[in-house]
């Protein structure tokens, strides 16, 4: 479904660009090369405005700690450009055209991996991390979580089916889960419902473990489940997140490695991604969508996967 939506949005943007190009060339008599350039720039500016809006919406609710590094203006520019480019390639190439189910390698001793995407995405989001995993000869499967606006509780069953399939087809007794954003909450819901016997480690990337205020602007049952109410200091998690946390033991939390960014533009307050009892790895200067596309984070994920096998 997400792939169809993404392709439809691409065609819509292309149609608007063509109409604007014709208007400039035919009505305003602009040179064709200038009309084409202006049309492409119009689409790029529209997409950049969407990325900028996520920063503006979350800025008043940002969560800072004593360890939060301050960014220079040049670092802020790099942060925005990196996130803009990540959203462009994911929404224009990864999610519309690069969905996949599995990449299998028989010449590896590393535990297999299940990839779980976040809200409004599909397995195509993992296209670039998948390339890194292929270079490391790590078997990995991906799951598409639908319905898109459904409950995270329902995703637990989808994760369970994917885990059992991966266990059966790989011949391993345990696997590693790598999850982005809401996918990390789906992984925790799976651990609540089915336990951690099958799971050696869960690596979450930019997961709003305590909720995010931007979910209040979204639609769907899942947005209501992962929202954060109030400012960073006096706010609180959703009732669903509170119930989820109440079911977790120290052993469950110990399975989780949370990699999160001090400057996440979707998880806000950003410290919501810090999960007590888990292994927390904070990075800076990286946006939400860009996390799984960042080379350093990809290598960190691969190291976590390999250490799980040991």
Of the CA atoms within 13 Å of residue 14, those in its CB half-sphere come to 7
3-state secondary structure of 1: coil
In the chain, the domains with their CATH numbers are: 97-309 (3.40.50.1820)
- Answer yes or no: is pLDDT of 16 > 80: yes
Does pTM top 0.75 for this prediction?
yes
109, pLDDT greater than 90: no
DSSP string, 11-29: HHHHHHHHHHHHIIIIIS-
Environment class of 214 (CB within 10 Å of its CB; exposed 0-12, middle 13-18, buried 19+): buried
pLDDT per position as a tens digit, 17-58 = 999 999 999 998 899 999 999 999 999 999 999 999 999 999
Return the structure tokens found at 256. 């989780």
Band the pLDDT of 234: cuts 50, 70, 90.
confident
- Tell me how far apart the alpha carbons of residues 238 and 253 are, in angstroms, rounded to a whole number: 19
Give 69-97 pLDDT, tens digit per residue. Answer: 889 999 999 999 999 999 999 999 999 99
Confidence class for position 108, pLDDT limits 50, 70, 90: confident
Q: Mean pLDDT over residues 158-173, rounded?
A: 96
pLDDT band of 63, cuts 50, 70, 90:
confident
When pLDDT is cut at 50, 70 and 90, the band that residue 232 belongs to is confident
Q: What is the mean pLDDT of residues 8-12?
A: 93
Question: Would you state the pLDDT for residue 127?
Answer: 98
Contact 274, 282 (CB under 8 A): yes
């Amino acid at each position: 479904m997400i792939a169809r939506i993404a392709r439809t949005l691409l065609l819509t943007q292309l149609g608007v660009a063509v109409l604007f190009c014709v208007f400039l060339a035919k009505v305003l008599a602009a040179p064709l090369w200038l009309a084409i350039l202006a049309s492409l720039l119009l689409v790029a500016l529209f997409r950049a405005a969407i990325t900028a809006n996520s920063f503006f919406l979350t800025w008043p609710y940002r969560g800072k700690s004593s360890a939060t590094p301050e960014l220079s203006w040049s670092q802020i520019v790099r942060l925005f450009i990196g996130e803009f480019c990540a959203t462009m390639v994911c929404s224009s190439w990864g999610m519309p055209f690069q969905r996949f189910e599995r990449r299998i390698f028989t010449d590896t001793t590393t535990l297999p991996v299940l990839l779980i995407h976040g809200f409004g995405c599909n397995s195509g989001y993992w296209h670039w991390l998948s390339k890194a995993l292929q270079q490391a000869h790590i078997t990995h499967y991906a799951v598409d979580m639908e319905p898109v606006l459904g409950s995270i509780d329902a995703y637990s069953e989808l994760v369970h089916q994917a885990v059992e399939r991966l266990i059966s087809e790989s011949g391993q007794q345990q696997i590693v889960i790598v999850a982005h954003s809401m996918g990390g909450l789906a992984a925790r819901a799976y651990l609540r419902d089915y336990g951690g016997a099958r799971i050696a480690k869960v690596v979450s990337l930019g997961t709003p473990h305590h909720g995010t205020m931007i979910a209040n602007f979204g639609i769907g049952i899942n947005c209501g489940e992962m929202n954060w109410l109030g400012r960073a200091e006096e706010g609180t998690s959703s009732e669903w997140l509170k119930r989820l946390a109440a079911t977790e033991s120290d052993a469950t939390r110990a399975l989780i490695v949370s990699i999160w960014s001090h400057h996440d533009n979707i998880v806000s307050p950003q410290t919501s991604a810090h999960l007590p009892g888990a292994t927390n790895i904070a990075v800076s200067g990286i946006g939400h969508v860009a996390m799984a596309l960042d080379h350093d984070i990809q290598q960190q994920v691969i190291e976590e996967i390999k250490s799980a096998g040991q």
